Amino acid sequence: MNQVLDAAVRARYLRGNAANGLTRDDMPKHYREEPAILTARQVEQLAVAMEGLVREGDNADDAPSLGLLVRFAAQTGMRAGEICALRWENVDFLRNRVTVSESLSTINSGEWYVVPPKTNKTRAVPLPAVLADALAVHCETQARRGAFAPDMYVWPTPLVSVNGPYGSTPMHWGRDFYLTYWKKAVQLAGLPNKLRAHDLRHTCAALLIAANVPAKAIQAHLGHSSFKVTMDIYGHLYDEPATL
């Protein structure tokens, strides 16, 4: 920056270089906001609140699946777009894992595109046995509703779609989940109003750290582009007692 401003002075675009004499210590510091992290009990409270809220609405049949979505997000740490784009063909019940190979990119309430994950890399995410069992129950439910096929989505939109039968159009995270249910469920669960759905991803990382999972494995689990990203966000948690 100093060199650029010097060039501007020489070209007479500026009268002086305001950066002269400044060092790195003079630059404003960037402070990353601490991620909100839930305990395992709070995750369950949120999931139960979500189920109760959905049962009171027009899509009562989706109550168990959206409660499962909360548990799934907190235990896998997958990004919202990755969850929306998850198809049944990428769920491996034999090995209890899911393959993250796609993500959903939404342009507005009606347009969506399936794109590669954020780092353009496919990864395998393990499923705890209890979560895999719950996902199997969801699979059976979707099969009874005619929404189970390899290329169908695990969490499809509840809206009637012109693009195909139920199950063939992915859920729109903002419209179908966050704006419709999230804030109300957070309030019902007695959790901070500022809680974001992305904080379920942070919660997953904290749970893995509390379980003494190596940081390098957590990087692979979350799909971070580098080990540095993982440590920049969660490194401080290694110095804190595990209370999750």
- Where in the chain are the domains? 1-31, 40-193
Residue with tokens 């342009």: 107
CATH number for the domain formed by residue range(s) 40-193: 1.10.443.10
Give helix 215-222 / helix 199-210 axis angle, nearest 10°.
150
Q: Where are the alpha helices (DSSP H) in 32-175?
A: 40-55, 63-76, 80-84, 129-144
Q: What is the pTM of this model?
A: 0.81
How far is it, in rounded angstroms, from Cα 177 to Cα 185? 11
Q: Please give the chain's pLDDT, 244 residues, in tens.
A: 667 777 777 777 777 777 777 665 555 555 556 778 999 999 999 999 999 988 887 677 788 899 999 999 999 999 999 999 999 999 999 999 999 999 999 876 567 889 999 889 999 999 999 999 999 999 999 999 999 999 999 999 887 666 678 889 999 888 888 988 999 999 999 999 999 999 999 999 999 998 999 999 999 999 998 988 888 888 888 776 555 5
Q: Where are the alpha helices (DSSP H) in the chain?
A: 2-10, 40-55, 63-76, 80-84, 129-144, 183-188, 199-210, 215-222, 227-234
| Structure token digits, residue 66 | 């959206």
